[in-house]
Structure 1
Amino acid sequence: MKDLLPILKTLRASKLGPLLLALQVAITFTVLVNAIFMIVEKQQMIARDSGIAQAQIFRVVANQPFAEDEYEARLNEAIAGIGALSAVEAVSYLSSVPYAGWGAIDEVTKRPEDRKETWAATYMADAKVLETLGLTLVLGETFSQAEELTVAYEAQAQPSELVITQALAELLYPDDWQQALGKTIYLTQVPHHVKGIVERMHAPWGVWHASEMSVLKPVREAGKVLTLVVRAKPEQLAEARTQVRDYLIATPKRHIDYMESVDELKARTYERENAALNTLWMVVLALSFVTAFGIFGQARFAILKRRKQIGVRRALGASRWHVLRYFLMENALITCLGVFIGVVLAILLNEYTITRFELNPIPSSYFAFGALACLIIGQLAVLFPAAQACRVSPAIATRSV
């Protein structure tokens, strides 16, 4: 610690260079902490479990080239025919699937006169959809065949039994989410009875703020469009898709609009987010490199400027370790000043993002990580110039002007 006072005197005598370097460290710290936090948040969002047996499931959307009075019978026929294919484990009517990008939503309230408590994605499905999707029922029961209703249109508006996600139950009944079972809740003022609660089912939109809020109701809409979800047998997804396509197009005038796996839908949904992640990583790496280069340049300039001072210290008995320690400690002090300024800037920037973009506050552990990262970057950047200073010959340095 005896080097501390000489270091402070040196920094006070030459304020501009160290101050600019501290400001560069502060900016790096601010961007680093906020960028890493945003990266982690986005990665967690992308990695969220959809709640279904995603690797085995694909959706099919096709037309129904039949008379209106045949729609229901032809829907049943398609489900039975696809279910009998050798590579298919299960098939159900389902109005949409997670990550599809389109679907139905409803306002959710506990009483019809209440204001909206949240939005929820509404899936219309048949009675065996939980089995087809591989959803995990944590409380209550699944639908019975007797509860299944088939309508020509406006399936979303039909009162029915309901299976909801645990996240929705926790929002409606925060003190005890299990109280939601057996209750009547209202979807856009239409009463529904909660019969079961599943662990999770993702909404059709990847970045939607209520993506964990979903409901399933045993109501099918038999119309011009055939919307099915197919679960392939393990390791037979490609074969199942081929068999389903061949089965459907065997019907005259039928065309398939969409046939995509949930994995493909998820990848497409998060294309922009993954691109943003790559950009953030590039910013973090580039800024870290620029900061390290700035520290390297400042340290090298300081060493060249103080060759005579270094030589005098070496002639008076200072070891190479003493010289190395001096410059490492000097850099650590400048970095700590920059981190202190950066903490203030990072908090202000985070407050702005919370207000403007509804992001979460940054945990204190990120500030500790950012400070440690900046300190390591600074010490590594100054290590080479400091090592050069250690090799300055006392005789040559004391003769130089």
Structure 2
Amino acid sequence: MLEIKPIFNALCRSKVGAVLLLIQIAITTAIVSNAAFIIQDRISYLNQETGYPEQDIFKFNVMTFGKDINLSQQFELDETMIREMPGVVDAALSSSVPLSGGGSASSFNLKPAPQEGLSVRTAYFFIDDHAINTYGVNLIAGRNFTEDEVLVTNEITQERTNVTIVTKALLDELYPERNGLGEIVYFGDIPLKIIGVIEKMKGPWLKDSKPDNLAFIPYIKAASYAQVAVRTEPGQRAIVMKEIENAMLENYSKRVINNIKGLDELKNEYTAQDRLMMRMLIVLITILVLITALGIFGLTLFNISKRTKQIGTRRAIGARKSAIVSYFLVENALICSLGLALGVVTALLLGKMLMQYFSVAALPPSYIASTAIAVFLMSLLAVLAPAKRAANISPSIATRTI
């Protein structure tokens, strides 16, 4: 059985290489554990359920420059025309588009402003009674808007709508201890009765602290700039997207139709930086692990070249090849264990810094443990080939003169 003390003493006599490798293992453990957690967090974020049939929805912008029409009437004609197009399920003017990174948000309160009460930040869409069908979300309680409840106007008016449909996440936050369906919530000083509840849908900002808080408000103000959301039958979106510009211009030519994009494309554009960061972290992890493995491999080869005669002597007095291999494996395990101990502490400190300055979630201990085990196994594999090479050194080496 190998003695740890002689191996440790041998490391102390050539400690520079061992210390450098120890530090490298510590840095690798700290960075890889945090990077792996961030990657997993980004993967969960990018793959989160949005509540929409993203592959079937697209949006486009309408910029009207003609002055010879009533915009409200024209948009009603446009919506009717779009809904009758082959492959279209439904369409609606929408003040904001989900998953796009651009929209409106405000506080929904249990008391009218300026009274103090529970206030919840909420994204909201001004849209009509076709909202639920257009976005393909699931109404789990209550009812949809009626056509009479949708306020349509060309000008600023004193008229106000008095109903809203909200997500279950928002309802639960506003009324955690009771069912809020039918209750009154205040949009500024405007009272809105909650008439419907949507199971799940994300707002414009996936990175928002409350991305599931969303409300539909039945209000359409026709303007020269507008956004239209369209849902198609599965597999028909690309065809409809190609036809939509010509169809809109045939309906009225004095306008520009642009920015025709699928909901999934908008989401990809919004999350592009997160995907880039994730790829960079994967590359960083790969490079760190390879450098560490090469460092272990190189240090072991260096030690073998320094101890060639010593290894030959051991072989000459009867040491088995397995004993030589075990020697280098144990030596590497000692260095790696000390490096991992330092790396665990460094990983925890780095995780706290990321949480404090970049609002990253707390690093779970499981990621540190998994990384430590992976680095330890990788170090053993890296040293195995040089150790076998050392075991094949001939005993005759010990009898040669310098």
Do they superpose with TM above 0.5?
A: yes
Confirm or deny that 1:339 pairs with 2:337. Answer: no
Confirm or deny that 1:167 pairs with 2:158. Answer: no
Partner residue, 2:270:
269
> Residues of 2 paired with 1:392 and 1:34: CA distance?
42
Partner residue, 2:379:
378
Partner residue, 1:291:
292
Confirm or deny that 1:260 pairs with 2:261. Answer: yes
> Residues of 1 paired with 2:278 and 2:208: CA distance?
18
Partner residue, 1:35:
35
Partner residue, 1:208:
208
The worse-fitting range, judged by mean Cα deviation, of 80-89 and 267-276 is 267-276
Partner residue, 1:72:
72
Partner residue, 1:114:
116
1:229 CA displacement? 0.8
> Residues of 2 paired with 1:331 and 1:160: CA distance?
72
The worse-fitting range, judged by mean Cα deviation, of 115-124 and 17-26 is 115-124
SS of the residue corresponding to residue 12 of structure 2 reads: helix
Rate the CA distance shift 1:68–1:120 in 2: closer, same or farther, 3 A: farther
Confirm or deny that 1:124 pairs with 2:126. Answer: yes
> Residues of 2 paired with 1:394 and 1:179: CA distance?
84
> Residues of 2 paired with 1:154 and 1:286: CA distance?
59
C-alpha contact 1:58 1:229 (8 A) present in aligned 2: yes
Deviations 1:239-288 (A, max 9, x none): 11123211111112121132111122112112222221221111111111
Partner residue, 1:187:
187
Query: Normalized against structure 1, the TM-score is what?
Result: 0.92
Partner residue, 1:17:
17
> Residues of 1 paired with 2:303 and 2:368: CA distance?
29
Deviations 1:272-329 (A, max 9, x none): 2222122111111111111111111111111111223322322232221121122112
The worse-fitting range, judged by mean Cα deviation, of 198-207 and 233-242 is 198-207
Which segments of 5 or more consecutive residues in structure 1 lack a partner in the other structure?
A: none
> Residues of 2 paired with 1:398 and 1:33: CA distance?
48
C-alpha contact 2:118 2:174 (8 A) present in aligned 1: no
C-alpha contact 1:164 1:197 (8 A) present in aligned 2: yes
> Residues of 1 paired with 2:401 and 2:306: CA distance?
11
C-alpha contact 2:123 2:215 (8 A) present in aligned 1: yes
Partner residue, 2:52:
52
Rate the CA distance shift 1:309–1:89 in 2: closer, same or farther, 3 A: same
- Whichever residue aligns with residue 384 of structure 1, its letter is A
> Residues of 2 paired with 1:354 and 1:365: CA distance?
17
1:29 CA displacement? 0.6
1:96 CA displacement? 1.7
- Whichever residue aligns with residue 348 of structure 2, its letter is I
Query: Normalized against structure 2, the TM-score is what?
Result: 0.91
> Residues of 2 paired with 1:400 and 1:218: CA distance?
96
Rate the CA distance shift 1:344–1:337 in 2: closer, same or farther, 3 A: same
Partner residue, 2:90:
90
Deviations 1:202-248 (A, max 9, x none): 22234333322221122222222332111112211121112321111
**Number of positions where the alignment pairs a residue of Structure 1 with one of Structure 2:** 398
Deviations 1:176-209 (A, max 9, x none): 5x63333322334433222222232222234333
Deviations 1:4-37 (A, max 9, x none): 2322232233333212211110001111011111
C-alpha contact 2:90 2:130 (8 A) present in aligned 1: no
Which segments of 5 or more consecutive residues in structure 2 lack a partner in the other structure?
A: none
Partner residue, 1:141:
143
> Residues of 1 paired with 2:315 and 2:120: CA distance?
71
The worse-fitting range, judged by mean Cα deviation, of 145-154 and 63-72 is 63-72
- Computed over aligned residues only, the root mean square deviation of the Cα atoms, in angstroms, reads 2.3
> Residues of 1 paired with 2:14 and 2:169: CA distance?
58
Partner residue, 1:239:
239
1:116 CA displacement? 7.2
Partner residue, 1:152:
154
Deviations 1:48-93 (A, max 9, x none): 2221111011112113455587222112111111111112121122
Deviations 1:324-383 (A, max 9, x none): 122112212211111111111111111111111111001111011110221122112212
Rate the CA distance shift 1:357–1:171 in 2: closer, same or farther, 3 A: farther
C-alpha contact 2:111 2:118 (8 A) present in aligned 1: no
- Whichever residue aligns with residue 139 of structure 2, its letter is L
The worse-fitting range, judged by mean Cα deviation, of 340-349 and 60-69 is 60-69
Tell me the percent identity.
Answer: 31
Partner residue, 1:230:
230
SS of the residue corresponding to residue 48 of structure 1 reads: coil
